[in-house]
C-alpha cells in the first residue's frame, strides 16, 4: 500500500456539504469501478483497501441489516430503537524531569507539563476512573473514583523558581463551556491541549461497544506561548469522534480517534427480521458523506478521510468483528495542521502502542478457542501512517493498568505478551510471549517465535498467577506474576527466534510497574506489607539474569492504613531524574486512608522523595527514602483527590495533587510551600 494521500478541500462552514461531496467525487475518480465488491488480493492482509464509494457504503449498510451476534459478543447495552436524542521515558537529558513515557522520544498526553521554566496544569479530568476488562484483576480494581472536575480555572501556567522551590501563576487559558482537557503537549513555544466530550481512560470492555462512541467530538488547540502572559490561540482543530489516544513524535501529533455514524430511529443491535428491514429502509439512501467524520481547522471543514483512505476487514464471510465504528489515525504537522493526513479501518480498537517508527492498534476478539487479539501495524514514515500488516495471536493484551507495556518494538520486531483465560480452576490463566515481524510477500505479521513452546514448555507464571508488571528492555523482558507471592521472570530475547526464561526470583508482594535504573538495576513499584496494604518499592540486581536478586525494599504509606499510588497503574504519576555523577532521584505519590488516635477516618496525599544510591556498584546499590511532601489533608474525606503528578528540577520538587501545586526543596522535610 502506498503512502496515504489526502485530497485536501478547504471550505467555509457554509460550504461544508459541498466540500464533502467534492472531496468524495475526487477520490472516486481514482477508485476503480462505480460498483461491485473489491477484488481481494491475497497479499492485502487482514485489512484490505476499499475499491470504491459504493463498497464503502454497502459494507456499513450490511452491518445493520443482519441479526446481531450472540449475546456474549455484543455490547451490554440492550437493543433499542434510537429516538433522535443523545447524551452528550522520563529522562530528557535535562536537569529536570519530564513526563514519564513508555518509549524515548515518543511524548505522551498528560495533565502536567514542564519545560524547565513553566508548569502547565490542566484542570482535574472528568470520569477519570477506568473501565476494567472482566477476568483481569490488579491493584487498580479497588481504586477510588475522583470527584467531578472544576473546569472554571482553565489551564494554569506557573513560573517556577527552583532555587527556593517556589512558583508564581503568570497566566490562565480559559476553557469553553463543555471543554474538558484530557491532557497537553509542549513543542518548543507551542502548547497543545486535547480534549473530548467523553474519554474512557485505560483500555477495557467499553472500547468494544458502538453506542458509547456515538456523537462525540474531540478538540485540539495549539497555542503560541512566546508571550507567556498572553498565550495566543493559533490553531483550533476539531475532529468528529471520540479520543482513543495520542502521541507526539517531533513536530507531528498523532491522534487515534473513533467515530460511530449516528442515525435517528435505528436499531443498533437488530435482533429480528423486522428490525433489520427497518434499518435497511433507513439506510437505503445513505452516501459516503453521511458516514465520514469531519476535520475542522480554524472554522473550515473537510472530510477526515476519503473512502479510498479507509481499510476494510477481510472478515467478509463472518462479520462478527467488522464494525460500524471507524478507527482513524491522523498525523497533524504542528507547524502546518492543514497538511494533516488520515487513514481509517472499520474495526474496533481496544489498545494502542507507539514506537518511534510504527503505531500498533489491537483489538480484543472472541473466538471458539477462547480469547484472542488482532494487531494491525502502521508505519509512520514522513508523518504518513501506512498499513503494513496484521496478525491474530492467542490471548488478550488489554486490561486495566499500564497494559501497553505488554508490547514493545525492537529492530522492526514486535514483542507482545498476552493472557488467555482457560476456564480451568486449577490453572485459570496462561501467559504467552509472541514475537512478530513483517512478512516479505504479504501485508501480514508473521509469528517468529512464541514462549512457552514445545522446545521450552515452562510456563510464564505458576498456576492461577495473574500478570502484573511487564517491561521490555532491549533484548530482555521482565514479567511479574502474582497470586500469593511475587515471581519476577527474566526473559532472554537476544535471539528473537528462541526466547527463553533465563531466571526468576520469588519474593513477597507484587510489582505493578517496573523501571530500569540501568542495565544492572531494576526498580519495582507495587504492593507489599501486611495484607498487601502498603506501597512497596523493590530494587533488583539483574546483572546476572539467571539469578536476579532483591537488594532492598521500602514500604510507603501509613502503617495500618490502606495505601494506594496512582503510579501503580499510570506511569505519568511516577517521576524519575537520573544523575550522571550522583544518586538518581525519584518521586512516588501515595494516598493513605486510615484511622487516627481518636478513631476518626483520615485521608492524606503525600509525595515520597527517594534516591537510588551506589547505582554504579550494583551489588551494594539501594533505594533510600529522603523526605516527603504532604498535600493538605482532607479529614473524613476518602475520595481520591484527583490527578497526582510531580516534577523534579535540581533540588526543587513540585507536587500536583488535584488542581493545586505544593513544593519543597529536596530533603527539606516539613519546609514546604503551597498550595499554588
Q: How confident is the model at residue 16 (pLDDT cuts 50, 70, 90)?
A: very low
First to last CA, the chain: 52
Average pLDDT over residues 599-616: 92
- In total, the chain counts a number of residues equal to 676
Share of the chain above pLDDT 70, in %: 79
C-alpha cell, 115? 519545560
Average confidence score pLDDT of the chain: 82
Q: How confident is the model at residue 44 (pLDDT cuts 50, 70, 90)?
A: low
Residue 24 has pLDDT above 50, yes or no: no
Average pLDDT over residues 392-409: 84
Half-sphere exposure of 585 (CA within 13 A, CB side): 25
Please indicate whether residue 214 or residue 13 has the higher confidence score (pLDDT): 214
Predicted pLDDT at 399:
63
Instruction: State the Cα–Cα distance between residues 97 and 115, nearest whole angstrom.
Output: 9
Taking alpha carbons only, the member of 244, 255, 175, 176 closest to residue 216 is 244
pLDDT tens for 355-390 read 999 999 988 887 888 888 999 999 998 888 999 999
Predicted pLDDT at 400:
55
pLDDT tens for 62-94 read 877 765 554 333 433 333 333 333 333 444 457
Residue 183 has pLDDT above 70, yes or no: yes
Taking the CB of residue 117, how many other CB atoms lie within 10 A of it? Answer: 13
Average pLDDT over residues 34-45: 45
Predicted pLDDT at 482:
84
Please indicate whether residue 313 or residue 548 has the higher confidence score (pLDDT): 548
| DSSP state at residue 140 | G
Q: Are 178 and 197 in contact (CB under 8 A)?
A: yes
Predicted pLDDT at 434:
97
DSSP line for 39-73: ---TTS-SEEE---HHHHHHHHHHHTSSPPPPGGG
Phi/psi zone of residue 623: left (φ > 0), alpha (ψ -120 to 50 degrees), beta? beta
Predicted pLDDT at 80:
34
Predicted pLDDT at 37:
35
Q: How confident is the model at residue 125 (pLDDT cuts 50, 70, 90)?
A: low
Share of the chain above pLDDT 90, in %: 56
pLDDT tens for 551-577 read 999 999 999 899 999 999 899 999 999
Q: How confident is the model at residue 349 (pLDDT cuts 50, 70, 90)?
A: confident
Predicted pLDDT at 199:
53
Q: How confident is the model at residue 139 (pLDDT cuts 50, 70, 90)?
A: very low
Instruction: State the Cα–Cα distance between residues 628 and 664, nearest whole angstrom.
Output: 9
Residue 316 has pLDDT above 70, yes or no: no
C-alpha cell, 30? 481514482
Residue 634 has pLDDT above 70, yes or no: no
Predicted pLDDT at 653:
97
3-state SS, residue 619: helix
Predicted pLDDT at 460:
94
Residue 17 has pLDDT above 70, yes or no: no
Predicted pLDDT at 143:
32
Average pLDDT over residues 457-484: 91
- In the sheet with 118-121, reading across from the earlier edge strand, the strands are 112-114, 118-121, 155-161, 166-173
Q: How confident is the model at residue 40 (pLDDT cuts 50, 70, 90)?
A: very low
Residue 23 has pLDDT above 80, yes or no: no
Cis peptide bond prior to 452, omega within 30° of 0: yes
Q: How confident is the model at residue 131 (pLDDT cuts 50, 70, 90)?
A: very low
Predicted pLDDT at 432:
96
Average pLDDT over residues 217-243: 96
Taking the CB of residue 478, how many other CB atoms lie within 10 A of it? Answer: 23
Out of 24-28, 100-104, 512-516, pick the least confident.
Answer: 24-28
Residue 204 has pLDDT above 50, yes or no: no
Residue 96 has pLDDT above 90, yes or no: yes
Residue 439 has pLDDT above 60, yes or no: yes
Average pLDDT over residues 573-583: 95
Q: Are 257 and 241 in contact (CB under 8 A)?
A: yes
Q: How confident is the model at residue 486 (pLDDT cuts 50, 70, 90)?
A: low
Average pLDDT over residues 208-235: 86
Average pLDDT over residues 104-122: 96
Q: Are 307 and 293 in contact (CB under 8 A)?
A: no
Crossing angle (nearest 10°) for helices 16-29 and 53-63: 110
Instruction: State the Cα–Cα distance between residues 292 and 88, nearest whole angstrom.
Output: 20
Q: Are 468 and 504 in contact (CB under 8 A)?
A: no
Helix, strand, coil % (nearest 5) of the chain? 10, 45, 45
CA distances from 383 to 4, 161, 255, 359 (A): 10, 37, 12, 11
pLDDT tens for 539-548 read 999 999 999 9
Taking the CB of residue 616, how many other CB atoms lie within 10 A of it? Answer: 11
Amino acid at each position: 500500500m502506498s503512502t496515504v494521500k489526502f485530497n485536501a478541500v478547504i471550505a467555509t462552514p457554509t460550504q461544508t456539504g459541498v466540500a464533502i461531496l467534492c472531496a468524495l467525487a475526487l477520490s472516486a475518480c481514482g477508485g476503480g469501478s462505480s460498483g461491485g465488491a473489491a477484488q481481494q488480493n491475497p497479499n492485502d492482509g487482514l485489512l484490505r483497501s476499499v475499491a470504491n464509494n459504493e463498497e464503502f457504503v454497502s459494507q456499513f449498510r450490511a452491518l445493520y441489516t443482519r441479526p446481531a451476534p450472540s449475546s456474549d459478543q455484543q455490547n451490554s447495552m440492550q437493543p433499542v430503537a434510537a429516538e433522535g436524542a443523545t447524551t452528550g521515558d522520563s529522562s530528557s537529558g535535562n536537569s529536570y524531569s519530564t513526563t514519564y513515557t513508555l518509549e524515548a522520544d515518543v511524548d505522551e498526553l498528560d495533565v502536567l507539563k514542564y519545560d524547565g521554566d513553566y508548569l502547565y496544569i490542566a484542570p482535574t479530568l472528568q470520569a477519570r476512573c477506568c473501565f476494567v476488562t472482566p477476568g483481569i484483576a490488579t491493584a487498580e480494581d479497588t481504586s477510588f473514583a475522583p470527584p467531578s472536575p472544576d473546569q472554571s480555572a482553565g489551564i494554569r501556567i506557573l513560573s517556577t523558581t527552583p532555587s527556593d522551590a517556589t512558583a508564581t501563576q503568570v497566566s490562565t487559558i480559559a476553557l469553553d463551556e463543555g471543554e474538558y482537557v484530557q491532557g497537553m503537549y509542549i513543542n518548543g513555544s507551542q502548547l497543545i491541549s486535547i480534549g473530548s466530550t467523553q474519554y474512557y481512560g485505560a483500555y477495557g470492555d467499553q472500547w468494544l461497544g458502538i453506542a458509547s462512541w456515538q456523537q462525540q467530538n474531540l478538540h485540539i488547540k495549539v497555542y503560541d506561548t512566546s508571550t507567556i502572559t498572553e498565550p495566543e490561540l493559533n490553531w483550533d482543530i476539531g475532529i468528529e469522534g471520540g479520543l482513543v489516544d495520542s502521541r507526539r513524535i517531533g513536530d507531528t501529533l498523532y491522534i487515534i480517534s473513533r467515530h460511530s455514524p449516528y442515525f435517528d430511529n435505528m436499531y443498533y443491535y437488530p435482533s429480528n427480521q423486522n428490525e433489520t428491514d427497518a434499518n435497511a429502509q433507513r439506510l437505503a439512501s445513505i452516501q459516503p458523506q453521511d458516514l465520514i467524520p469531519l476535520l475542522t481547522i480554524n472554522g473550515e471543514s473537510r472530510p477526515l478521510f476519503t473512502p479510498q483512505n479507509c481499510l476494510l476487514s477481510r472478515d467478509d464471510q463472518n462479520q462478527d468483528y467488522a464494525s460500524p465504528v471507524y478507527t482513524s489515525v491522523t498525523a497533524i504537522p504542528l507547524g502546518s495542521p492543514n497538511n494533516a493526513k488520515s487513514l481509517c479501518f472499520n474495526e474496533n480498537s481496544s489498545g494502542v502502542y507507539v514506537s518511534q517508527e510504527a503505531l500498533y492498534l489491537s483489538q480484543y476478539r472472541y473466538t471458539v478457542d477462547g480469547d484472542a487479539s488482532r494487531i494491525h501495524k502502521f508505519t509512520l514514515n514522513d508523518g504518513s501512517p501506512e498499513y503494513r500488516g496484521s496478525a491474530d495471536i492467542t490471548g488478550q493484551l488489554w486490561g486495566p493498568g499500564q497494559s501497553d507495556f505488554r508490547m514493545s518494538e525492537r529492530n522492526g520486531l514486535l514483542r507482545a505478551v498476552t493472557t488467555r483465560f482457560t476456564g480451568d480452576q486449577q490453572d485459570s490463566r496462561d501467559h504467552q510471549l509472541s514475537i512478530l515481524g513483517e512478512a516479505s510477500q504479504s501485508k501480514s505479521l508473521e509469528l517468529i517465535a512464541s514462549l512457552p513452546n514445545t522446545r521450552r514448555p515452562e510456563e510464564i507464571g505458576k498456576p492461577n498467577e495473574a500478570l502484573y508488571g511487564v517491561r521490555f528492555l532491549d533484548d530482555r523482558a521482565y514479567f511479574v506474576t502474582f497470586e500469593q507471592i511475587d515471581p519476577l521472570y527474566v526473559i532472554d530475547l537476544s535471539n528473537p527466534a528462541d526466547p527463553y526464561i533465563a531466571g526468576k526470583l520469588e519474593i513477597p508482594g507484587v510489582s505493578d510497574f517496573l523501571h530500569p535504573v540501568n542495565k544492572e538495576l531494576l526498580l519495582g513499584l507495587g504492593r507489599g506489607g501486611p495484607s498487601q496494604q502498603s506501597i512497596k518499592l523493590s530494587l533488583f540486581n539483574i546483572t546476572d539474569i539467571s539469578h536476579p536478586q532483591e537488594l532492598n525494599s521500602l514500604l510507603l504509606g501509613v502503617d495500618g492504613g490502606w495505601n494506594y499510588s496512582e503510579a501503580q497503574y499510570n506511569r505519568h504519576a511516577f517521576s524519575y531524574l537520573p544523575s550522571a555523577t550522583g544518586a538518581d532521584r525519584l518521586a512516588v505519590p501515595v494516598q493513605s486512608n486510615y484511622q487516627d488516635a481518636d478513631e476518626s477516618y483520615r485521608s492524606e496525599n503525600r509525595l515520597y522523595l527517594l534516591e537510588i544510591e551506589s547505582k554504579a556498584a550494583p551489588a551494594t546499590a539501594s533505594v533510600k527514602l529522603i523526605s516527603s511532601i504532604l498535600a493538605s489533608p482532607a479529614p473524613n474525606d476518602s475520595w481520591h483527590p484527583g490527578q497526582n503528578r510531580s516534577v523534579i528540577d535540581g533540588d526543587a520538587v513540585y507536587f500536583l495533587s488535584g488542581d493545586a501545586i505544593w513544593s519543597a526543596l529536596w530533603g527539606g522535610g516539613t519546609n514546604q510551600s503551597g498550595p499554588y
